[in-house]
Amino acid sequence: MRLSSVIVILFVCLSVVSNAQEATKWRGVNSSGIYSVDKLLPQWPADGPQIIWSFDKLGQGFSSPAFANDKIYINGMVEGQAILFVLDQNGKELQQFKYGKEFDASYPGTRSTPTIVGDLAYLFTGHGIITCLNLTSGKAVWEKDCLANYDATNITWGYTEALLVDGDKVFVTPGGKTNNVMALNRMNGETIWSCPGLGELSAYSTPLLIKLPGRELFVTHTHSHVLGIDAATGKMLWNFGHPNQWAVHPNTPIYHDGGLFVFSGYGQGGEKLKLSADGSSVTKEWEITSFDSRMGGAVLIDGYLYGSGDKDRSWQCIDWKTGEQKYSSTEVGKGVTIAANKKLIGYSERGELFMADANPSGLKVISKTKVALGSEQHWAHPVITKGILYVRHGNALIAYKISE
C-alpha cells in the first residue's frame, strides 16, 4: 500500500474519532439556534410540512433532542423517573435508560437537554443530580448531587441548564454560596475549579463559551447577574446586573464580533454589552425592554436580532448595532425562535409552527401549521439536522420534512 493511501486512511479514521468525541450543543453551533439545511423547502405544503414519523412515549418534559452516533437522544419523565430514550433515525426506540427521580412539582418533566460525547451522556435532573452515563453499558460512570455535594439550594422550577462540555470539562452552575459555578472533570466528576461568583442562586440558564484570542470566557446568568468567568481558571472577571421579577433567565446569551447580548422576560428585556479585547470587562452599549423573551431564545442574522417578547408579546426585529426596533408583529403567538438558511422558524406557545423571512422590514410569514400531536405546553426548542425539523411537544417527538 502506498504511503499516501495510508495517510488518507489514517486521516479519515482520526476524523471519525474526532467527530465522535465532539460534544453536542444546546441550540446547535455556539448555541446560536442557527442551522444549515441542504435544499430547504421554499415554502411548506398547505397543511404543513410532511410528518415523517412521530414517537409518543416520552412521558413529560420540555427538553430537546440531541443527535450523535447516528442516533437520537431525548429524555422524558415517566412515572416520576427520568428516562433517556435512544431512537434510530426512523423514530424506532432502540434503548432506554433510567437515571433517577425527575422534577414532578410545578410543570413536571425533564428540563435539561442531554449532552452526548462519544459513548457518554451527561444528564441533569431538575433536582440537581448530574449523571455521566455510559451508553454502552447503561451504567453511571459517576454522579454528583449539587444540593448535597456542593451545598446548593434548588430553584423554584428546578435546575434546567443543558450541561456544557468542552474538552475535559463539564460546566455546571449549582448556585451555592461557595460552589456557585463549577468545572468538573468530565471523565470522573472531580472538581477542576469552583467559582463563588456572587453567591446567587442558579437561574435556569444554559451557558455560553466564547473563544477569544487570549482566553476562553464562560458566560452565564445567576439570580440577578450575568457572570463572565475565565474558563481555564474559574476566576470571575466581571459581573453585570440583570434582574427580573422571578429570577428566571433561561436564554443563552448571544455573542458576535465583541458584542454580547443578554436578555430575559417579565419586562426585563435585553442589554448589549461590549467585551474588552481580552474578555476581562464589559461596558453597556444599549438596552431594550420590549425584547423580553422569557425562554424562547433569539437568533442573530445579518446584523439583526429576531425573537419574541414576553410581556411585550410581539415578534420583533432589533438592529444589533443600535438597539433600534425595526418591527413588532402579533401575527403569531410568542414562542421559540430558531433559523435555517436565513429563514426564521418559530414555535409559539399556542402550538403554531411557522417559517418566515428574516427581513428587518417586517415579519413575513411564508408558511404556518399547527402542532397537533403531543401534550401539555409548547415550550421545547426545535432542532434541525439533516434536513429534518424535530419538534418536541410533551410526550411526543415529531419529525418534519423541511428539505427537498
For 331-387, write each residue's pLDDT tens digit.
999 999 999 999 999 999 999 999 999 999 999 999 999 999 999 999 999 999 999
Look up cell 412515572; give the residue.
Answer: 79
Going by the DSSP 8-state scheme, the letter that residue 101 receives in this structure is E
Q: Over range 7-21, report the average pLDDT.
A: 43
Q: How far apart are CA 135 and CA 194, in angstroms?
A: 28
The two counts, helices (H) then strands (E), for the chain are 2, 33
Contacts 24+ apart (CB under 8 A), 176-185: 176/146, 176/150, 176/151, 176/152, 177/151, 178/150, 178/151, 179/150, 179/151, 179/152, 180/222, 181/218, 181/220, 181/222, 181/227, 181/229, 181/234, 182/150, 182/234, 183/231, 183/234, 184/130, 184/144
pLDDT tops 90 at residue 301: yes
In 3D, which of 286, 215, 218 has the Cα closest to residue 252? 218
C-beta of residue 97 within 8 angstroms of C-beta of residue 84: yes
Give the residue-averaged pLDDT of 13-36: 78
Average pLDDT over residues 104-118: 97
Residue ranges of domains in the chain, CATH in brackets: 23-62+296-404 (2.40.128.630), 63-110+112-203 (2.40.128.630), 219-294 (2.40.10)
Pairing between β-strand 282-288 and β-strand 299-301 as defined by DSSP bridges: unpaired
10 has pLDDT over 70:
no
Q: 325 in helix, strand or coil? A: strand
The predicted model gives 300-326 an average pLDDT of: 97
Average pLDDT in the 32-45 region? 97
Q: In what order do the strands lie in the sheet with 269-275?
A: 254-256, 259-264, 269-275, 282-288
Beta strands in 7-70, from DSSP E residues, in sequence order:
34-35, 51-55, 66-68
102 vs 124: CA distance, rounded Å:
9
75 is written with which cell numbers?
A: 429524555
Return mean pLDDT, the chain.
Answer: 95
Residue 8 has pLDDT above 50, yes or no: no
CA dist., res. 73 & res. 95, Å (int)? 10
Tens of pLDDT along 225-274? 999 999 999 999 999 999 999 999 999 999 999 999 999 999 999 999 99
- Virtual torsion, Cα 307, 215, 321, 250, nearest 10 deg: 20
pLDDT score at 21:
82
For residue 102, the one-letter residue type is E
Q: Please name the residue that has the C-alpha cell 415523517.
A: 52
Q: Which residues contact 357 (CB under 8 A, 6 or more apart)?
A: 343, 344, 364, 366
Is beta strand 396-401 parallel, antiparallel or unpaired with respect to 51-55? antiparallel
**CA neighbor of 96 nearest in space, from 144, 110, 321:** 110
Cell numbers for 218, please give them: 464562560
In 3D space, the residue among 209, 224, 112, 90 whose CA is nearest the CA of residue 158 turns out to be: 112
Mean pLDDT, residues 131-152: 98
Neighbouring residues of 16: CB distance < 8 A, sequence distance ≥ 6: none
Rounded mean pLDDT, 80-109? 98
pLDDT at site 20:
52
Evaluate if residue 14 carries a pLDDT over 60: no
- Residue environment code for 136-156, b if the CB has 16+ CB neighbours within 10 A, otherwise e: eeeebbeebebbebbebebbe
How many Å apart are CA 337 and CA 385, to the nearest integer? Answer: 16
The residue with cell 441542504 is: 38
